[in-house]
């Protein structure tokens, strides 16, 4: 019998809920992907590069033009200068970058701090490397970090802290106070940071994105990960990237080369061209999604769900305690089966299940999709 390296980890919740949505012909507001296309000019550029011979292996770290564009972007957005040759690596999705960064620093017995609800790949990646995940639970509706608990959790075995802002699934964003607290926690300690910033362009109202790249002292020990899938509505293309200082990146690359070696070539050329020609796309992404968030909030105001507006990502949490006492996994399944709208139960993102009745809806959808879903949800 094969020994399971990830005991207790079954099929991930996104696959489970999307399958259920399909079986019951439900509107899928569960899995985080848009039901609209990415920019036409970008898609045409992929076709162009496929037709024009960009079809062989890309360099290990990524197509140089794309790495230069990424370096230019982080300089203009976060005033952070990176060397595109030694500090930027293009990866098959942010997912692979997260795996490589965790593998680069975590040795057996090392501890890694994550903030729950946390994205579902972090812990398995730590486990596969023999590390131990220490969970700090944050709770609905504010998800504020108890920094005293972080202080109490840090010890000599703490090797890595994983940050995710804007955060999936809570739809919250870090504040300057969080950054200051983080700085204080790690001062004088040999701790690395992994900052998952795949929603870096999707933030609302008067919030802004606090990339770790804005802070030279924090960037000096950080792997910062982003995803073109989220930015260009192309989650199926699987193109992301990581930025880290040279010595960290050397170790990252050592791992990346034996897993994927390189990332799709034509997509990289197309994204580089598009980044160079249309920077307004990512600059306007927050406004684009804020309209969708506001539409969804508006439509749902007639329902018995309670919604506190998310400040970033394309997810909105909803408290259903006025509708049902069921645990969220049962409620989400029933919502899909009986009311034909699929959502994600938030408790699955916690090591210690919280006492809350909250599900996550994805609003990266056409207005008509959101309207059709809300029409069903207001009846509950």
Ligand X SMILES: Cc1ncc(COP(=O)(O)O)c(C=O)c1O
Binding site for ligand X (CB under 6 A): 32, 93-95, 119, 164, 168, 196, 198, 227, 229, 235, 240
CB 228 within 8 A of CB 256: no
- Whole-number minimum distance, CB 241 to ligand X, in Å? 9
d(CA 329, CA 17): 10
Alpha carbons 314 and 292: distance in angstroms, whole number: 9
Q: In which order are the strands placed within the sheet that holds 158-164?
A: 88-91, 240-243, 222-227, 192-196, 158-164, 111-116, 132-137
- Give min distance, CB of 240 to ligand X, in A: 4
Nearest residue (CB) to ligand X, 168 versus 268: 168
CB of 102 to ligand X, least distance (A): 12
| Token couple for 354 | 């919280």
Determine the Cα–Cα distance for residues 27 and 6; give it in Å rounded to an integer. 31
Of all residues in the shown chain, the one whose CB is closest to ligand X is 93
Shortest distance in whole angstroms from residue 35 CB to ligand X: 15
Q: Return the DSSP state at 6.
A: S
Indicate the residue among 198 and 249 with the shorter CB distance to ligand X: 198
CB 248 within 8 A of CB 163: no
As measured in angstroms, the least distance from the Cβ of 93 to ligand X is 3
Nearer to ligand X, 196 or 319 (CB): 196
Q: How far is the CB of 91 from ligand X (least distance, A)?
A: 8
How far apart, in whole angstroms, are the C-alpha atoms of residue 24 and residue 361? Answer: 17
Centroid of chain to Cα 105: 20
Residue 229 vs 286, nearer CB to ligand X: 229
> Considering the complex, what minimum distance in angstroms separates the CB of residue 263 from ligand X?
11
Rounded Cα gap, residues 117 and 168, in angstroms: 8
Q: Select 93 or 131, whichever has its Cβ closest to ligand X.
A: 93
**The dihedral of CA 4, 6, 10, 12: what is its sign?**
negative
With DSSP H G I counted as helix, E B as strand and the rest as coil, what are the percentages for the chain, rounded to 5? 45, 15, 40
Q: Please write down the long-range contacts of 2-7, taking CB distance under 8 Å and 24 or more positions apart.
A: 5/127, 5/128, 6/124, 6/127, 6/128
Nearer to ligand X, 11 or 148 (CB): 11
For residue 242, list its beta bridge partners: 89, 225
**What distance in Å separates the CA atoms of residue 53 and residue 30, rounded to the nearest whole number?**
38
Residue 240 or 286 with smaller CB distance to ligand X = 240
Residue 93 or 345: the one with the smaller Cβ distance to ligand X is: 93
The rounded distance, in Å, linking the Cα atoms of 362 and 33 is: 8
Q: In the complex with ligand X, which residue's Cβ is closer, 202 or 219?
A: 202
The least distance separating ligand X from the CB of residue 162, rounded to whole angstroms, comes to: 10
Distances (CA, A) of 262 to 55, 312, 331: 12, 31, 42
Minimum CB distance to ligand X, residue 168 (Å): 4
């Amino acid at each position: 019998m094969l020994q399971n390296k990830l005991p207790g980890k079954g099929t991930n919740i996104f696959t489970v809920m999307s399958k259920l949505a399909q079986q019951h012909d439900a509107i899928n507001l569960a899995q985080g992907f848009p039901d609209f296309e990415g920019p036409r000019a970008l898609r045409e550029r992929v076709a162009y590069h496929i037709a024009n011979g960009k079809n062989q292996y890309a360099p290990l770290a990524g197509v140089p033009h794309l790495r230069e564009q990424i370096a230019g972007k982080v300089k203009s957005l976060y005033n952070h200068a990176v060397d595109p040759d030694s500090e930027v690596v293009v990866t098959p999705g942010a997912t692979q970058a997260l795996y490589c960064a965790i593998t680069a620093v975590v040795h057996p017995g090392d501890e890694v701090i994550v903030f729950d609800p946390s994205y579902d790949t972090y812990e398995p990646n730590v486990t596969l490397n023999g590390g131990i995940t220490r969970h700090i639970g944050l709770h609905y509706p504010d998800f504020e970090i108890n920094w005293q608990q972080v202080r109490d959790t840090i010890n000599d075995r703490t090797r890595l802290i994983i940050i995710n802002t804007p955060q999936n699934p809570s739809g919250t964003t870090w504040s300057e106070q969080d950054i200051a607290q983080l700085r204080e926690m790690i001062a004088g300690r040999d701790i690395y940071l992994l900052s998952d910033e795949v929603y870096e362009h999707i933030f609302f109202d008067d919030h802004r994105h606090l990339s770790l790249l804005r802070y030279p002292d924090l960037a000096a020990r950080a792997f910062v990960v982003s995803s073109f899938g989220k930015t260009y509505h192309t989650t199926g293309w699987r193109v992301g990237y990581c930025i880290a200082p040279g010595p960290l990146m050397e170790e990252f690359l050592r791992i990346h080369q034996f897993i994927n070696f390189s990332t799709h070539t034509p997509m990289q050329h197309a994204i580089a061209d598009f980044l160079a020609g249309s920077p307004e796309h990512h600059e306007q992404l927050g406004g684009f999604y804020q309209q969708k968030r506001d539409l969804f909030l508006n439509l749902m105001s007639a329902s018995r769900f309670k919604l506190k507006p998310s400040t970033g990502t394309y997810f909105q949490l909803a408290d259903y305690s006025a509708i049902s006492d069921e645990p969220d996994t049962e409620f989400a399944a029933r919502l899909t089966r009986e009311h034909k709208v699929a959502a994600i139960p938030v408790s699955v993102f916690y090591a210690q299940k919280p006492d809350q009745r909250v599900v996550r809806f994805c609003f990266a959808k056409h207005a008509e999709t959101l309207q059709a879903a809300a029409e069903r949800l207001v009846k509950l």
